[in-house]
Structure 1
Amino acid sequence: MESQITLEDKLKERIKELTCLYRVSSLIKDNSFNDLTELLKEIAISLKEAIRFPEEAFVEIKVENFVFVEGEKIEDAIFIISAIKTFGKIKGSITIGYSKQKFSENSFLEEEKLLLHKIASEIGDFLERKEINEKEEIAKRQIERVGRLTILGEITAGIAHELNTPLANILGFAELLKEQYKDDKVGSEDLTKIIDSAIYSREVVKKLMFFSCEMPQQMASVEINVIINEAISLLKPSFNKKNIRCNITFSSDKIQLKVDKIQLTQVFFNIVINAIYFSPEKGNINIDVIEKSKNVQIRISDEGPGIEPVNSENIFNPFFTTKPIGDGSGLGLSVVHGIIRSHKGTIIHQPNTPKGTIFVVSFPKN
């Protein structure tokens, strides 16, 4: 199949190579990062058309889990290959091959090798921009979410303050009336219901104030190992009810942290109670408390159904819940978020393997 290449042939090959480069550059320029598969297929087709013997060749592009072959791949092949790199790391490769039976290494022109390296570099640059774009989108969504939560916190604080006074009046006057109607059994029972409802509503308002960071804090240096062990002890009936095993590990025997003890307990309670609720019978809940140089990290993992991606940005919003009506008010995680934020800490969630959710709470040591 090989033959002496003439000057006219060389000019034709250069035109094919330049046409391929222009085509690939146009494809990459017009791509909006949405369809990588189609882009790489088009590049493979263009590259195959640009080489000396396109009808005898195959082009293979590999990028991470994607593999596309244009032409019939030959196992016993003579080939040239170029790595696709992003940020200095190899992410894939492009291969052009011929049958060993018909061709030799001299079948590839030096210009074709340069073309292959150039296209691999173009793909690598595109993948770098794609990765940067994805990170920017994630950062943008996080900023928007923080903004929404800040506005929501301000609105919530206003609502909580507005409700406090009328709730106090309802509770106070109901208690006075109950004293007057103590001999009226039916009236007294009705007033008890009003009082109970007012107390429940007051607790909801208190949780709203926790979310909006309006509750006063009693910050002190405490040993969180003790607090967590005490909380687990109180939750034992809930664990036993579903035969759930709780595994706790501490990176140090004594871990000191400056926090509001009551609020830290509330954070821990809310996350663990959620983990128990969503855990299957005889499941495992793992709690790891890790002391680092600048912060203390609490990781709580369960084996439940996990958090659906569509819900991931809403779980810290007040009144958002995936529990059935009557099983939850949707305030637990919003309270947790408010407390952690007021402690200058962070909370994130991630999938557990093979199933479930991991909540990672981080409190700064200073």
Structure 2
Amino acid sequence: MHTAEQKLKERIKELTCLYEVTSLIVHCDYDDVETALKGIVQCLEIAWQFDQETFVSLQVGSYDIQTEEKGKEYVFMESPITIFNKKEGRIKVGYPSPKYKLEDFLEEEQQLLDNVCLEVGNLLERKEIKDNEANIRRQVEQTDRLRILGEITAGIAHELNTPLANILGFTELLKERVEDDLQASKDLDKIITNTIFSREVVKKLMFFACEIPQEKELLDIVPVLENAIALMRTTLAKEDITCSFTTSAEEIFLRIDKVQLTQVVFNLVVNAIYFSPPKSTISVDVKDEESKVVITISDQGSGISEEQDEHIFEPFFTTKPIGEGSGLGLSVVHGIIQSHQGKITHRSNTPTGTIFTMEFPKST
């Protein structure tokens, strides 16, 4: 039986704990939530009746925090941590057993633990909201940058088209005049090759800027994807890489621009080939879902680093050596998919590599 003085002492400990927990949460840095959670666990440890033998464990999401163990077996009082009405973790407060039993906990201690779990859940909800806001802000900023770059590149593409056509035409005429000069012919061939490469870059710029009109039609995309992969069979064989193709149905219909879909798959598979080691496999999978079609392309290559992650869809960003990439392939893919009201995401493959996932709505 507790005396009035003992009961008062316990209430003071509990109120002090709740005040300190609230203070930690109010002043919490959302980029360092773990420090606040560690402080909360320490507050709970000294708030219980037998504080010298109290063990506290907090588990929620990626956080797993506990105080120093005071024994091997425990009798626990616990309460759930709820985030957006979903149980995501818990806090447990224990005494060593069999020295202590459940009856040794106070009702007020359970109330305190419930209140602390409620506060922790609210903290983690606010952190998740803040993280989502930051992600949305980054996406809006990237979309805005891409829009501005699209306007600029459209003008550049138009300005470059005419001089490139003139260079190519006059070089071919000049080549006919110097047929007997072997060295001159070789030099002119280099000019022609580089001009054609530049023209392809301009074409990608126009794709990125959506200057090439779309011709959407309802078609079976399975043979379109098979043909796109077939275009790369020689390259795949040369690099000793296998490409598998699977589909959830023999026919999958989608309203889409056939040429642009081919461009999307071609660019992603070419990228996968470039970064994949010999003997590896590139997988192309198509799923027909109720309201959308999902295409995934996965490889077993070197993957995308955290530094590259935010920039891969930006025009002219490339990790390839100079002369081996224009940095427009993924920008073109991003632009085409957005113009079809779709979306593209990427994640790491296991154990190595990257998985690109494209979703095209059936309603467009």
Structure 2 length-normalised TM:
0.91
Task: For residues 141-190 of structure 1, give each alpha carbon's deviation from its aligned partner in whole angstroms, at most 9, with x where no partner exists.
Answer: 11211111111111111211222233334334444555565666655554
Give percent identity, aligned residues only. Answer: 54
Q: Are 1:32 and 2:68 matched, yes or no?
A: no
Which residue of the other structure, out of 66, 70, 73, is the alignment partner of 2:67?
70
Maintained 8 Å contact 2:46/2:54: no
Q: Which residue of 1 aligns with 2:147?
A: 150
1:102-121 equivalence runs, <5 A: 102-121=99-118
Task: For residues 259-310 of structure 1, give each alpha carbon's deviation from its aligned partner in whole angstroms, at most 9, with x where no partner exists.
Answer: 2222221211111111122122111111111122322221111111111122
Q: Are 1:210 and 2:207 matched, yes or no?
A: yes
Distance 1:47 1:138, change over 3 A: same
Report the secondary structure of 2:213's partner residue. coil
Distance 1:349 1:309 in 2: 12
Q: Are 1:289 and 2:276 matched, yes or no?
A: no
Task: For residues 81-131 of structure 1, give each alpha carbon's deviation from its aligned partner in whole angstroms, at most 9, with x where no partner exists.
Answer: 112221233222222222335444333222112111111111111112112
Q: Which is worse superposed, 160-169 or 42-51?
A: 160-169
Task: For residues 11-70 of structure 1, give each alpha carbon's deviation from its aligned partner in whole angstroms, at most 9, with x where no partner exists.
Answer: 222222111111000001111122233222211221222222212322222224433332
Q: Are 1:233 and 2:230 matched, yes or no?
A: yes
Distance 1:96 1:293, change over 3 A: closer
Distance 2:289 2:59 in 1: 40
Distance 2:35 2:81 in 1: 17
Task: For residues 204-254 of structure 1, give each alpha carbon's deviation from its aligned partner in whole angstroms, at most 9, with x where no partner exists.
Answer: 111111111101233333322112222222221122223322221122212
Q: Are 1:248 and 2:245 matched, yes or no?
A: yes
Q: Are 1:9 and 2:44 matched, yes or no?
A: no
Q: Which residue of 2 aligns with 1:221?
A: 218
Distance 2:276 2:96 in 1: 57
Report the secondary structure of 1:35's partner residue. helix
Q: Which residue of 1 aligns with 2:134?
A: 137
Q: Which residue of 1 aligns with 2:263?
A: 266
Structure 1 length-normalised TM:
0.91
Q: Which is worse superposed, 15-24 or 253-262?
A: 253-262
Unaligned runs of 5+ in 2: none
Deviation at 1:317, TM superposition (A): 1.7
Distance 2:319 2:80 in 1: 46
Q: Between Structure 1 and Structure 2, how many residues are aligned?
A: 363
Distance 1:190 1:235, change over 3 A: closer
Distance 1:267 1:195 in 2: 26
Maintained 8 Å contact 2:53/2:70: no
Which residue of the other structure, out of 301, 304, 312, is the alignment partner of 2:301?
304
Distance 1:57 1:40 in 2: 17
Look up the equivalent residue of 1:287 and give its one-letter code.
V
Distance 1:298 1:101 in 2: 58
- For the aligned residue pairs, the C-alpha RMSD in angstroms reads 2.2
Distance 2:66 2:292 in 1: 50
Distance 1:252 1:194, change over 3 A: same
Report the secondary structure of 2:81's partner residue. strand
Unaligned runs of 5+ in 1: none
Which residue of the other structure, out of 95, 100, 112, is the alignment partner of 1:98?
95
Distance 1:50 1:265 in 2: 65
Distance 1:59 1:364, change over 3 A: closer
Q: Which residue of 1 aligns with 2:58?
A: 61
Q: Which residue of 2 aligns with 1:82?
A: 79
Q: Which is worse superposed, 99-108 or 324-333?
A: 99-108
Q: Are 1:342 and 2:320 matched, yes or no?
A: no
Maintained 8 Å contact 1:74/1:97: no
Distance 1:344 1:202 in 2: 28
Q: Which is worse superposed, 185-194 or 239-248?
A: 185-194
